[in-house]
Amino acid sequence: MSAQIIETNTQPFKQVEVDTVTVDIIENALRNAREEMDAVLFRTAMSPGIREQGDCFPMIANRDGKMVVGQFGSFIYGFTEAYDEQIEEGDIILTNDPYMCNAAVSHLPDWIVLVPIFKDGRHIAWSAMFGHMSDNGGMVPGSIPIRANSIYQEGIRIPPTKLYKKGQLQSDVLELILHNVRTPQWNRFDLNALVAACRTAAKRCVEIAERFGDDVFHTTMNIMLERNYQAMKVIIETIVPEQPRLFEDYVCDDGVGYGPYKIRCKLWREGSKAIFDFDGTDPQAQSSINFYLNEEMFKMFFGSFTINLFDPQILFNDGFYDLVDVRIPEGTLLKPKFPAPLSGRTHALGRIFDVMGGLLGQSAPDAINAAGFSDSPHLFYSGYDQKGEWFQLFQIGFGGIPGRPVGDGPDGHSLWPGFTNVPNEFIEAYFPLRIERYETIPDSGGAGLHRGGNGLSVAYRFLVDGRIAIHDERWLTYPWGVKGGEPGMRSSKRLVRGDGSEEWLPAKCEDIQVRAGDLLYFNTWGGGGWGNPLERDPDLVFADMERGLVSAAGAERYGVVIGAAGVDREATAALREKMAAARQDEGLFNFGGTIEQIKARAEAETHLPAPLAPQF
């Protein structure tokens, strides 16, 4: 089963000689087209998640569906393999169902638009973009129900569907879809914006082909893919060992009382091919934290992670895919069986990046990162405002990036490099709440020669009665440190009621009623530290303290004593000597203890949920 592209001009493309100057011109033109896709989307979308935060992923691919430029890699291959229909010029395809497109998209709130690009009757390329919709129907506002036990509870499932046929909008299909969501106006504008962005890229591709010729355009795309292949081949042969390396990390819980859930991966190299084997990963969850991880999607994660870590100048695309083999057992957390729920897949998705870092770092310890803000924690707030109109907020939180070989981790940043925070002024203007605190949490980043970035504390004052939901992680396990660095601080959520009473909320909870005047402290976690904190320049510690990033007490984690006039050099030397004598070799990783020790410790911490039940 595969898509059938109908061309009126079946003249085959030719591989031709293309000089390097022309390749560079076309490459930069395609990069600009990809940036223009974002510009069009952000100027025409309506929801804050896309318009302000940038929760979308654009790309331009060759006619075979391999991404040539984009943000995170091609999902077209999985789609075309699953779509058993004809595709003609003017068609625009929409889908959101992971089970209907080989997990080309991983949960229902992400709507994909795919546009086949034609020129003179020939299919020359693809443009595609998906964006996170504010609502997709289902059990709860925002469509990421924690307690779902089936994907049918997570909202409308859109199989690969022609939104446009030969250029004509299928308005009845569109209205049927929008009838099933809580925010039809936002979804309509956002969907139109996705279409406009893809059409813009299509126009630019045709213009490039008209200027340089179809064969030059086609050949240059292949050259760009080959460049990536050769660059990644060198990286893989350099950093991936022939002897297997093993790493495990955890999703803390599933929101319904079970966990933690282990993600286990083994990595080795055979020739120039990197092999990732997830055998030993825990079975799928009953709730929505399952992550249907398409093998091609994992390859793009690996490529993006590796290129950004070792050589950001390499153009990221799908050229290297043949150099990676991914093995994911069916029925596990990363390949659940239909109709397992998938909406809360963000936690496992983010943890994959920590797992990759742990695997790759064992062979290149001088290049390893600590664990960091590997998730996109969500806050949902919905109800009726002072005018009696329905409102629905979807907010993504930021946290601490890990300490790195090149320096400290940034404070209060996103897992996804392209995301930006929604301005507080925007939130307060459009939603009935007030943000009373937006600041980093001192000492939340792990101590190290290069400290981990601090998490954020955001205080939301609710101005009307409503209901909230929280989706968060790293409340149980620690963001681990490396090479002697300490783990980062974990996340917490504290709700202060209008009458002054307080309650600690679980990291994953929904349908929590709030009243006007209640205050939620949404505290995210910090990044792990890199290197021995006793080797950090005391003046840097003092500078961090002056900026409010490290407290005076926290400075002592670095063996630094702060006096009235600044760093007390003599006391610092004495303290560091004492701490150095007491330090134990933690090995390459500092997880804060074994998983059994961490769970036992959590039982005594009153702000954490009740101890988790055994998973099995």
**pLDDT for res 469:** 97
Tokens at 436, concatenated: 């009373």
Mean pLDDT of 269-288: 97
**pLDDT for res 115:** 97
Mean pLDDT of 273-292: 97
What proportion of the chain, given as a percentage, has pLDDT over 90?
A: 81
**pLDDT for res 611:** 57
Q: In which element (H, E) is residue 198 found?
A: helix 184-212
Does residue 361 lie within any of the structural domains?
no
Q: Classify residue 603 as exposed, middle or buried by CB count within 10 Å of its CB (0-12, 13-18, 19+).
A: exposed
Report d(CA 83, CA 11) in Å as an integer: 24
Query: Of 229, 260, 278, which residue constitutes the final position of a domain?
Result: 229
Left if phi > 0, otherwise alpha if psi is -120 to 50, otherwise beta: which for 73?
left
Give 429's pLDDT tier (boundaries 50, 70, 90): very high
- Compute the mean pLDDT over every residue in the chain, rounded to the nearest whole number: 93
Mean pLDDT of 321-349: 96
Does residue 419 lie within any of the structural domains?
yes
CB atoms within 10 A of CB 362: 18
Q: Assess whether pLDDT exceeds 90 at residue 493.
A: yes
Give 367's pLDDT tier (boundaries 50, 70, 90): confident
Residue 147 belongs to domain spanning: 4-229
Q: Assess whether pLDDT exceeds 50 at residue 615.
A: no
Inter-CA distances, 517 with 90, 390, 459, 575, Å = 52, 19, 12, 46
Give 427's pLDDT tier (boundaries 50, 70, 90): very high
**pLDDT for res 342:** 98
- Tell me the pLDDT tens digit for each residue of 373-418: 888 899 999 999 999 999 999 999 999 999 999 999 999 988 776 7
Q: Assess whether pLDDT exceeds 50 at residue 551.
A: yes
Does residue 237 lie within any of the structural domains?
no
**pLDDT for res 313:** 80
Q: Assess whether pLDDT exceeds 70 at residue 1.
A: no
3-state secondary structure 328-387: CCCCECCECCCCCCCCCCHHHHHHHHHHHHHHHHCCCHHHCCCCCCCCCCEEEEEEECCC
CA 382 to chain centre: 24
pTM over cut 0.85: yes
Does residue 50 lie within any of the structural domains?
yes
242 Cβ partners below 8 Å, 6+ apart? 268, 269, 270
Inter-CA distances, 140 with 180, 191, 381, 511, 520, Å = 13, 21, 11, 8, 20
**pLDDT for res 307:** 83
Query: Of 168, 200, 229, which residue constitutes the final position of a domain?
Result: 229
Does residue 35 lie within any of the structural domains?
yes
Report d(CA 30, CA 117) in Å as an integer: 14
E-assigned strands of 492-552? 492-496, 502-504, 508-514, 519-523
**pLDDT for res 483:** 96
Number of structural domains, the chain?
2
- Taking each helix axis as running N to C, give the angle between helix 214-239 and helix 184-212, from 0 to 180 degrees, rounded to the nearest 10: 110
Give 616's pLDDT tier (boundaries 50, 70, 90): very low
What proportion of the chain, given as a percentage, has pLDDT over 70?
A: 97
Q: In which element (H, E) is residue 77 found?
A: helix 76-82
Q: Residue holding tokens 């504010």? A: 134
597 Cβ partners below 8 Å, 6+ apart? none
Q: Assess whether pLDDT exceeds 60 at residue 613.
A: no
Report d(CA 39, CA 263) in Å as an integer: 37
Nearest to 328 by CA among 402, 250, 252, 265: 265
Query: Of 229, 261, 295, which residue constitutes the final position of a domain?
Result: 229
Q: Assess whether pLDDT exceeds 50 at residue 245.
A: yes
Give 610's pLDDT tier (boundaries 50, 70, 90): low
- Tell me the pLDDT tens digit for each residue of 176-202: 999 999 999 999 999 999 999 999 999
**Gap between the terminal Cα atoms of the chain:** 37
Residues 225 and 374 in one domain: no
Q: Classify residue 371 as exposed, middle or buried by CB count within 10 Å of its CB (0-12, 13-18, 19+).
A: buried
Q: Which residues of 456-465 are buried (b: 16+ CB within 10 A; e: fewer)?
A: bbbbbbbbbe
Does residue 142 lie within any of the structural domains?
yes
DSSP state of 181: S
Left if phi > 0, otherwise alpha if psi is -120 to 50, otherwise beta: which for 501?
beta
- Tell me the pLDDT tens digit for each residue of 101-115: 888 889 999 999 999
Q: Assess whether pLDDT exceeds 80 at residue 219.
A: yes
Does residue 46 lie within any of the structural domains?
yes
Higher pLDDT, 54 or 610: 54
